[in-house]
Amino acid sequence: MVGIVNYGAGNIFSLTAALDRVGVQYGMINNEDEFDHYERIIIPGVGHAGAAMDKLKNSGLAERIVTLRKPVLGICVGMQLLTSYSEEGDADLLGIVPLKTLHFYKRIDEKVPHMGWNSVSPQNGCVLFQGIPDNSYFYFVHSYFIESDDTYTSARCNYGINFSASIQKDNFFGVQFHPEKSGKAGEQLLLNFSRMVIS
């Protein structure tokens, strides 16, 4: 079963609908003890990273997340929370992955937000992308991005600049796009995560 961290940052209807479509069972994590009920954990998130971090801290769930040894998947702002810092709200985040979340504005000439379908190149056979062809398109909506990094970037995307479409450190995974809105490729990625075993 997949546990969804329920800390009030955005609507999760689309995520649960996608899990239903691919036949993955899930439940909500509302307090620290409920982490024990699930083998895999998803941290959703839309909106403002600084505000999301405040909500996560206030929910009392942040401290437990950093100690988890199960597979964890952050989606969009939920992924950004795994990094050390975001320019959005000048906020310190969970610091699990030692990267920064930066604003596109002033760094690229393209339109912001980066909205729509963009192609993604997985690096070094990232397990999240098993069975998904290289350069498949995923749906993005975001104004902040995680810098591209040789160690922690597990899939790259380009929008005026190379950035992390996905990151990984040990059992922690994050995707900047919305797998729940990314057609069949996104559904496959959710299925891959739901079957993932960390050895």
Partner 1 sequence: MLAKRIIPCLDVKDGRTVKGVNFVDLRDAGDPVELAWQYSEQGADELVFLDITATYEGRKTTIELVKAVARQVNIPFTIGGGINELRDAEVLLNSGADKISINSAAVRNPSLIDQLAKAFGRQFVVVAVDTRLVDGQNFVHLRGGRDKTEIQTENWIKEAEERGAGEILLTSMDHDGTKNGFDSALLKRVNDRIQIPLIASGGAGSQQHFVDVFQQANVDAALAASVFHYGEILVPELKDTLRKNGIVVR
Give the interface with partner 1 as residue ranges (CB under 8 A).
11, 13-14, 17-18, 20-21, 46-48, 110-119, 137, 139, 141-143, 158-159, 178, 180-184, 186-187
Query: For residue 16, what is the enclosing H or E element?
Result: helix 13-22
Instruction: Report which of 142, 76, 136 is spatially closest to residue 115, judged by C-alpha positions.
Output: 142
Torsion angle, CA of 79/2/126/74, rounded to 10 degrees? 0
Residue number with CB closer to partner 1 (23 or 125): 23
Smallest gap from Cβ 67 to partner 1, in A, equals 31
Cα distance between residue 77 and residue 101, in whole Å: 10
Residue number with CB closer to partner 1 (54 or 84): 54
Residue number with CB closer to partner 1 (68 or 141): 141
- Positions annotated as catalytic residues are 76, 178, 180
Instruction: Report which of 189, 186, 165 is spatially closest to residue 71, judged by C-alpha positions.
Output: 189
The label of the residue with tokens 């941290």 reads 43
Smallest gap from Cβ 35 to partner 1, in A, equals 25
Smallest gap from Cβ 144 to partner 1, in A, equals 12
